[in-house]
Amino acid sequence: MSSITADSSSAAAGRSALRGVLVAFSAYAVFAFSDASIKILHGVVPSYQVAFIGALFGFAAVPFLKRREDGWLDVVKTSNRPLWLLRFICGATGAICSVIAFTKLPMAEAFALLFLLPSFVTILSVIFLKEDVRWQRWTAVILGFVGVLIVLRPGFRELSIGHFCAAIGGLAAAISIVINRALGSKEKRISLYGAGLFGTLVVSGFLMLSEVMAPTATQWIFLASYGLLGALGNVLLMNAAHMAPANLVAPPQYSQMLWAIVFGYLLFNDSIDMPMAFGIVLIIFSGLLTLARERKRGTPLPAAVAGNTQAALATAQEDEPATPER
């Protein structure tokens, strides 16, 4: 009888994990649509203003990210104010840089650079958390940077502010993840989310004062799409993390590259040559290798890469085990 019960529980857990993975794929598709909304604006609306408005719409996710035991003021409360403020700065930096990157670069190229996030996490974890990183993870880091060099081909292609911002956006998100690891499970997810959200509001709000413009009705549609879809993506990822382990929720983030290629081809007349395609494959392989190694070591996994860098919080700090739905 106990064997039948165990088999039933295992099957239920398997179904829950499958649903979680499918929800994760849906979340990353939603993020890709959010990022495409930025690019459709073609830089007509200043990047600081786009980030500010996106953060305003980002508050739509707060009621869904808030746990029953959380208070509304926990959005700004923290157990470590210096690290909370560092997340505040990283949230603003990541959001603004991501907006600029998607405005200036082909979507696939922007994602290729943002996908350096796992490599940045590995390096920062060694420096600040004193993690023991062995040759397999260093190999993944090297492959990632080789892939970036192939994509960018410095000296053969003109580099722009978009390339710089994409790399900085990935680095800012990586710092946020290392902060999450340093804080551990004692910090509430809603507090970490609030740090990045308020950081983006304050910093981008200050920077946009010199060039505020009144968006047209059509532009408001895409601005709302950027912010609300980003919020929806967070909620979907949170639900995915409840249904499936983080090591299953994280890898589908690379499906965003497929969306980027499709959007780039159909909407923005982007093209990818063979060297760039090879570099993108190396970067993705590097990230997946890092995820596989961290899964084996039981290390909290790097979270989602998206134009809305708040996505990191949907899977980060998720210390509750996935349980089958009833």
List, for residues 97-132, the tens digit of each pLDDT value.
Answer: 999 999 999 998 888 888 888 788 888 888 887 777
pLDDT at 240: 85
Give the tens place of pLDDT for each residue, 200-256: 999 999 999 988 899 999 999 999 999 999 999 988 888 887 887 766 777 788 888
CA dihedral 145, 150, 151, 155 (to 10 degrees): 110
On whether residue 64 sits in a domain, the answer given is yes
pLDDT band at 294 (very low <50, low <70, confident <90, very high): low
Average pLDDT over residues 29-58: 92
On whether residue 210 sits in a domain, the answer given is yes
pLDDT at 164: 92
* Residue 304 in this model has a pLDDT that exceeds 50: no
On whether residue 56 sits in a domain, the answer given is yes
Q: 3-class secondary structure for the chain?
A: CHHHHHHHHHHHHHHHHHHHHHHHHHHHHHHHHHHHHHHHCCCCCCHHHHHHHHHHHHHHHHHHHCCCCCCHHHHCCCCCHHHHHHHHHHHHHHHHHHHHHHHHCCHHHHHHHHCCHHHHHHHHHHHHCCCCCCHHHHHHHHHHHHHHHHHHCECCECCCHHHHHHHHHHHHHHHHHHHHHHHHHHCCHHHHHHHHHHHHHHHHHHHHHHHCCCCCHHHHHHHHHHHHHHHHHHHHHHHHHHHCCHHHHCHHHHHHHHHHHHHHHHHCCCCCCHHHHHHHHHHHHHHHHHHHHHHHHCCCCCCCCCCCHHHHHHHCCCCCCCCCCC
On whether residue 68 sits in a domain, the answer given is yes
Of all residues in the chain, the percent with pLDDT exceeding 90 is 29
pLDDT at 33: 94
Task: Quote the mean pLDDT of the chain.
Answer: 82
On whether residue 6 sits in a domain, the answer given is no
Q: How many domains does the chain have?
A: 1
On whether residue 325 sits in a domain, the answer given is no
pLDDT at 311: 53
On whether residue 29 sits in a domain, the answer given is yes
Of all residues in the chain, the percent with pLDDT exceeding 70 is 84
Give the tens place of pLDDT for each residue, 137-193: 788 888 888 888 888 887 667 788 999 999 899 889 888 888 887 876 778 888 888
pLDDT at 210: 86
Supply the range of the domain harboring residue 40: 17-306
Length of the chain: 326
On whether residue 316 sits in a domain, the answer given is no
